[in-house]
Structure 1
Amino acid sequence: MSESRFIDVTPHPRILGVLGDIEFANWQCLAELIDNAFDEFLSANDTTKKPTVAVSLPPANADRSTASISVRDNGRGMSLEAVTKAISAGWTSNARHGALGLFGMGFNISTARLGRHTTVVTSREGDTHWVEVVLNLAEIANTERYQAPFRLVPKANPAEHGTTVTVSELKSEQFQALRRTNTQKAIRENLGDIYSYLLETKGFTLTLNNKKVFPRRQCVWDESRFVTRNGVDIHAVQRIDRELSARLACMDCGNWNPLDVELCEECGSERLSKRARRVHGWIGIQRYVHKSEYGIDFLRNGRKILIRDKRAFYWLPEDAVDPELEYPIDDKSARGRIVGEIHCDHVTPNYQKNAFEFESLEWQQVLRLIRGDTPLRPKRLPGTVNDSPLALLYTGYRRNSPAGLSYLIPGKDGQPIHEKTYEWAKRFRDNDPDYETDEIWYRSAYQNDHPPTEPDTGDDASGTGILPGLDDDEQGDDDGTGPHGQPGDKGESNPPAETVEDRLKRYREHGEPLLDLNGKYNLADLGSIELSAWLVKGQKLIDRREQPAPVVTYMLRSPTLEVFVNLDDPLFQRRGADPRDIALVEVSEYLRVRASRLDTPLSRVIAHLKDSNAVDDLTPTAMADMAERLLDQVREAMIPFVAESPQRHWHVTTEMERKDAQRRFAFEVPGAEPWGDQIETGEFIRYLRGNAVKRILREAPETFFDNRVFARAYEGVDESVRDVVVERVLGPLGDLALLEEQRPRLELDELARVRASARLVSRALAR
């Protein structure tokens, strides 16, 4: 048996020349270089600087002999060692998971595709030199062993940093194409599309020939819009957020392995990293229908891999060879309006980054989360139930007619106005403020269901009610009706119809914010919201079905969910329900319906919301902390008014209270100014206990009421009721003072009383 021998299979330098023949569109070549810059921004996680990538293409009048392409970023830059690895064919500084690009191979393919000469200039902050490395394909192709020349160029400013890749000696077909205005416009649109998420949510800036690349925004109905099928409200946007089981990712081949292995089951590598896996995003209904502009975008690490993909709209029956199209099938012109944005960072893309490995288990799992295993049409497979997000949207919005609110289709006289809504979408993407929200689309659908009526009198009705974006012939007769089929806006007897936005503005004007509920809530299974809660008085609340309700929720601007509580409702005035608890019940139900997770117990969602807002916990410690914070707020507000006559207020306190205040000052502010200075400036109020603060307030209410420290009127009310005005503030304040001073062990009902007192004091404070 002969002895094993080896041969050298190191790639020949000419491999770089071959890479230039691999099929890559010109925008894909640029995207490979941009990927590397965006990867750098994502890994740096530096919010102090504005991450920027500037792409430069030859102008129309450029000379080919001097023309070049450059991609410049203001990232951290690279060392000589790092840039050496970065430009080596087949090498990548990025692992197979957690990054946009493969700097090595992607870099070489893209640069070789564009031209024959590549220069990389890079430097880090603090370095004294720029590193300049040159790749020359002509020399590489004729050399057995190519050594890339480099040089160190002194920096004028050591604080400068970043990387610039310049490709020159452009190939003829690339030069001719890239200098055309139409090509550059198309590239700008493509880049704005694939990087829309990063540009819109991460604050990255991308320019092409000094023109900003704008993200392509989805023109979808607001999350608050819905249709009703079989008694179920189906919102126009369905959120998807599913944590998958963690696995071991191979950093060499990309394979996902079970947690109990030590080597990759695919390639045997030891480079395994435990990674969380998550599928998140949304699918929803576009405000217009189109033959091609529909489908779901699938993203990996913020970059779109599949754009307006329609695979989720097909179902493969058992034992069938070809999948069946399920959407759209109700439109003769094959137009659709279901769109979406799904992030699946763990799914491996192909080398061109325009497809995933569709046979992989990871991709199949993503598809199942969106559309389920069974057909979208239940009748196609009797006995099955499909409760997936896509099936829910399919049930509610599969048809593109008839016009009206039943399917959220703008129209006139029962007929859709699809061409007009597409024009509106163009205005939306041109950032026309009149078309930013879906209000124009909604009004058109509403007006279709509530057509104008002839006036009852023979007088000429005034007011056209013309809806922005609608032509006169799409409005119906000029009969004085507004866009909701209500009286127009001219003439005292014909007030304009109130829009949803106007209604919510009215609620806010007659309400006050529930500050202790407001904020961001993030629930793993139900998505995240930014809650804005309001207590409303003197206004009748109307829900989305135009029915009165004690509490209503609206989401006009995602992700802000607004909840309004009618304090005048008998539920609170006579039955004593806690407005905050009822508000959270409505918020919880909204989240369950939005995420199509009605199987999640309502009580569990409420508990999770309360856990996210622990400031309202009904525990002795939480209530004592709340009391101290609120008393500090009162003391702080009193300082400028105490300073007007400090000796007067100082002498109201007892000798014991004064000594206690001085001790607290000495303990909290060691080595500060003399205590006497605190008395002269009124700053002593900071160190008085709550009961002493109460005494000062009781002795001089005219100093602190009437919208000074407290909003309640004092001087303007009859003397016989002034004591009542003061006690309505000092009574609850006394509960806080007791808890601050003694922290007694309180029962549940007593803790609830303290919480109520804190809310009363907070509401009494001047804003």
Structure 2
Amino acid sequence: MTVHTQVEDDLTSHDYELALDRVASVAAEITEHLQTARACLDGSQGTVERPIERPVESPVARPEENRIVPGEVLSATDNPLSSGEAAVQYREPLPAPSAGDHQKALVELIDTLRTLAARGQRGRRGQRGRRGQRGRSGPRPGTTRPLNAAVSYRPSRQDPLAVSVKDDGFGLTELDLSHRLHQGFGRAFHREVARLGGRVRLFTAKAGDVWWNTAEFGVSAQRRVGVGTTLGRKPKRDTNAHGTELIISDLHPLGEIDGRELAGIRTHLGDVFSHPLAAGELRITVNGVPVQARRPCIWSAERSVRRGDLEIFAVQRFHHTGGRTKVCRECGRVFSSLVCPACGPSRATPVVGEVWGWLGVQRFADPDDYGIDVIRRGRKILRRSKRLFLRYPWSEDEREQEYPGALSRRGRLVGEVHCDAVPLVGAGTSLDFRSAEWRDVVSVVRGAGPLSPSARRHRGLPENISPLGLLVRGFGENVPGLSHLMPGDGWAAQHQLDRAWAEGFRAGDPEFQTDERWYEEARRHDELVAARHQFASR
């Protein structure tokens, strides 16, 4: 079989991105022909190991030390931890995983699938022919379709119990999978997954492929790449099937996963991924039961209070466009330097440092259940965080919290802040609070200087008209009545009753879905206070 290909030289037009995409298109065409030929020659039904020789390096291919040839088993030279002894050496003695460990691991697994699905969708650009015809890769690029992720606890052939997470995304090509395995899935992925089990099996394919591209590797909390990675292929029963599946096996000893723990897992996933779930971009099921997005129990955006001549609404929305930065198309890292710190010279996509979201007033006040969710690429990095209430939110040593005030131990300001451009630090699960991008977030959300109106007057500063500054001015005190939108009984606020109503809201009780019940109780409080004062004045 002969495959005729031609790659035009775009160097004269300096369109390097187009040249790389055309090279990827040629590679995809060659891969498709090879898959068809191997399917005709090999009729076996099991996983096929395919050690092949390294191809001649092309001018646009990756350096040899940064490549994994699809189908080969990594040697000790490619991966010093490829031997079984090395894998056992990095299996840390860990305690039995708890329900919290399962929740964290599943978050990393689903986030990895979302990243791979996005990479697979971008990779489809290289699957178009030279005339622009659409290849056999599933839906058209740019179509809005939710990503379906299914989590299941079920037995496998090798283990009595395995954790499987799979999606119906576009899937990965052999080349994309190889590059991803060489870069690793990040230290956070390995750290959390290693608390559950020691081995990960990955299956991925695009629609129209006749093979599932497979990989199996060990995980270690001390690594960011797989241990003892083995690549292979498995024939597909349905060539139209597509997506990616991750199976965690060799699980550590654990107790029985009962219905209560599964419900806790669904609640946690619905909280971390609440935005893509509510927006219809993501659907998650755990053992067949859908995960519901955590909805904020806040006052309507039409409610407002007056402070002098200023009307302050209970929901403040903002959208700020900042400077341009870059995101690596290989590992997803955000950087502003010339090359990616992790991958070196690679293709990068310019992105705009947007900060957008909303802040609102919760219908109940609570000592802990309040704060601002900070979201990066659809995943909550900080949940109900109080960092933006600190006097200096960029300082790691800051402890002075400006809201709630010293006389109140309960808060009710909540919100969502989306900031994809803020870089991550550590294992990739924390934001870089010293970065310029985070300072942009602070400036947009809370402005400069103190939040307290009295503190600003004392320092001779103008009023804080930032979204958070306005809400602190209008709703910073927990005073019952319509003046602060807080229910009361004629004497004081009803915090316990408000909280019980909020539980009804989260349970889906129709009586508590709108804020009418809270509003009527706040109005009734004002009427009782007025009647008591009128009686006392007689």
TM-score when scaled to structure 2?
0.69
* TM-aligned CA distance change 1:369 to 1:319, over 3 Å: closer
Establish whether residue 200 from structure 1 lines up as the match of residue 282 from structure 2.
no
Which of 1 and 2 has higher RCO (CA within 8 Å, sep 6+)? 2
Residues of 1 paired with 2:91 and 2:187: CA distance? 9
Residues 33 and 439 of structure 1, relative CA distance in 2, 3 Å threshold: same
1:308 alignment partner, SS class: strand
Match of 1:365 in 2: 440
Counterpart CA distance in 2 for 1:167 and 1:320 is 36
1:233 maps onto 2:315 in alignment: no
Corresponding residue number in structure 2 for 1:74:
168
The 1-side partners of 2:169 and 2:362 are apart by: 36
Counterpart of 1:344 (choices 401, 414, 419) is 419
Closer, same or farther: CA 348–112 of 1 in aligned 2, 3 Å? same
Residue 451 (structure 2) aligned to one of 358, 369, 376: 376
Letter in 1 for 2:252: K
Tell me how far 1:320 sits from its aligned partner.
13
Q: Deviations over 1:25-56 (max 9, x none)?
A: 32221111111222355564665755211101
Match of 1:184 among 256, 262, 272: 262
The answer (yes or no) to whether the contact 1:54–1:210 under 8 Å persists in 2 is yes
Distance 2:313 2:218 in 1: 57
Q: Distance in 2 between matches of 1:407 and 1:298?
A: 26
Q: CA deviation at 1:64?
A: 11
Structure 2 gaps, min length 5: 1-76, 122-140, 533-538
Aligned twin of 2:400: 324
Spell out the pairing of 1:640-659 with structure 2 (5 A cutoff): none
Match of 1:18 in 2: 90
Is the Cα contact below 8 Å between 1:19 and 1:109 reproduced in 2?
A: no
Cα 1:292–1:392 shift into 2, 3 Å: same
Q: Give the direction of change, closer, same or farther, for the CA distance of 1:147–1:283 in structure 2 (3 Å limit).
A: closer
Partner of 1:96: none
Query: Is 2:208 the partner of 1:126?
Result: yes
Structure 1 distance, partners of 2:477, 2:448, is: 22
Quick one: structure 1 residues 106 and 370, their matched pair in 2 at CA, closer, same or farther if it must change by over 3 Å? same
Structure 2 counterparts to residues 701-720 of structure 1, below 5 A: none
**Are the structure 2 counterparts of residues 318 and 64 from structure 1 closer, same or farther at C-alpha, using a change threshold of 3 Å?**
closer
RMSD: 3.7
Q: 1:433 to 1:314 in 2, by over 3 A?
A: same
1:593-608 superposed matches below 5 A = none
CA deviation digits over 1:709-739, x for unaligned, max 9?
A: xxxxxxxxxxxxxxxxxxxxxxxxxxxxxxx
Alpha-carbon distance in structure 1 between the residues aligned to 2:521 and 2:403? 25
1:409 counterpart = 2:486: yes
Q: CA deviation at 1:378?
A: 3.8
- Residue identity opposite 2:389 in structure 1: F
Tell which deviates more after alignment, 34-43 or 183-192.
34-43
Matches within 5 A, 1:527-676: none
Mean Cα deviation higher: 283-292 or 33-42: 33-42
After TM superposition, give the deviation of residue 162 of structure 1 in Å.
1.7
Question: In structure 2, what is the Cα distance between the partners aligned to 1:453 and 1:377?
Answer: 29
Instruction: Encode CA deviations 1:121-173: one digit per residue, 9 max, x unaligned.
Output: 222211123233333579xx9xxx946152322x232111122211222111x
Q: Quickly say closer, same or farther: Cα 1:317–1:233, change in 2 above 3 A.
A: same
Q: Is the 8 A contact 1:228 1:396 kept in 2?
A: yes
**Which residue of 2 is the match for residue 308 of structure 1?**
384
What is the alpha-carbon distance in structure 1 between the residues aligned to residue 439 and residue 363 of structure 2?
29
The gaps in structure 1 that reach 5 residues or longer are 1-7, 93-102, 455-475, 477-767
Residues 315 and 72 of structure 1, relative CA distance in 2, 3 Å threshold: same
Question: How far does residue 202 in structure 1 lie from its aligned partner after superposition?
Answer: 2.8
How far is 1:286 from its partner?
0.4
Which residue of structure 1 lines up, in the alignment, with residue 152 of structure 2? 56
Residue type at the aligned position of 2:400: E
Q: Which amino acid aligns with 2:369?
A: E
Amino acid of the structure 1 residue aligned with 2:375: L
Equivalent runs, 1:139-538 vs 2, <5 Å = 146=228, 148=230, 150-153=232-235, 155-172=236-253, 175-176=254-255, 179-248=257-326, 254=333, 256-257=335-336, 269=345, 273-316=349-392, 322-329=398-405, 331-332=407-408, 334-380=409-455, 381-385=458-462, 386-401=464-479, 403-451=480-528
CA deviation after TM superposition for structure 1 residue 12, in Å: 3.2
For 1:273 and 1:192, the matched residues in 2 are separated by 30
The one-letter code matched in structure 2 to 1:290 is D
How many angstroms apart in 1 are the aligned matches of 2:188 and 2:399? 34
TM-score (norm 1): 0.50
Tell me the alpha carbon deviations over residues 334-364 of structure 1, each in whole angstroms, 9 at most, x when there is no partner: 1100001000000012355542111111112
- Structure number having the greater helix percentage: 1
Give CA-to-partner distance per residue, 1:268-288, whole Å, 9 cap, x none.
857554321100001110011
Question: 1:200 offset after TM fit, Å?
Answer: 0.4
Q: Decide whether the 8 Å contact of 1:331 with 1:400 is kept in 2.
A: no
> Structure 1 residues 198, 79: CA separation in 2 closer, same or farther (over 3 Å shift)?
same
Contact 1:236 1:393 in 2 (8 A): yes
CA distance in 2, matches of 1:318, 1:216: 28
Give the whole-Å Cα distance in 2 for the aligned partners of 1:278 and 1:136.
Answer: 37
Distance 1:249 1:76 in 2: 21
Return the alpha-carbon distance in structure 2 between the equivalents of residues 452 and 378 of structure 1: 27
Residues 578-637 of structure 1 deviation map (CA, whole Å, 9 limit, x = unaligned): xxxxxxxxxxxxxxxxxxxxxxxxxxxxxxxxxxxxxxxxxxxxxxxxxxxxxxxxxxxx
Query: 2: CA distance between counterparts of 1:268 and 1:65?
Result: 39
- Give the secondary-structure state (helix, strand or coil) at the position aligned to 1:70: strand
Contact kept in structure 2, 1:195 and 1:302, CA below 8 Å: yes
- State the SS of the aligned residue for 1:207: strand
Cα 1:111/1:315, change in 2 over 3 Å? closer
Cα gap change, 1:244 to 1:17, in 2 (>3 Å):
farther
**C-alpha distance after superposition, 1:182-219 (max 9, x if no partner):** 43222221111010000000342101111111111011
The aligned counterpart of 1:689 is none
* 1:129–1:244 Cα change, 3 Å: same
Say which SS state the counterpart of residue 238 (structure 1) adopts: strand
Supply the AA of the counterpart residue of 1:447. R
Is this contact kept in 2: 1:127–1:158, CA < 8 A? yes
SS of alignment partner, residue 431 of structure 1 = coil
Instruction: Please give the secondary structure, in 1, of the residue aligned with 2:215.
Output: strand
Alpha-carbon distance in 2 for matches of 1:414, 1:349: 48
Which amino acid in structure 1 is aligned with residue 524 of structure 2?
A: Q
Aligned pair 1:29/2:125, yes or no?
no
The offset of 1:322, in angstroms, is 4.3
Do residues 135 (structure 1) and 221 (structure 2) align? no
The one-letter code sitting in structure 1 at the alignment partner of 2:336 is: N
Question: Partner letter of residue 123 of structure 1?
Answer: A
Larger Rg: 1
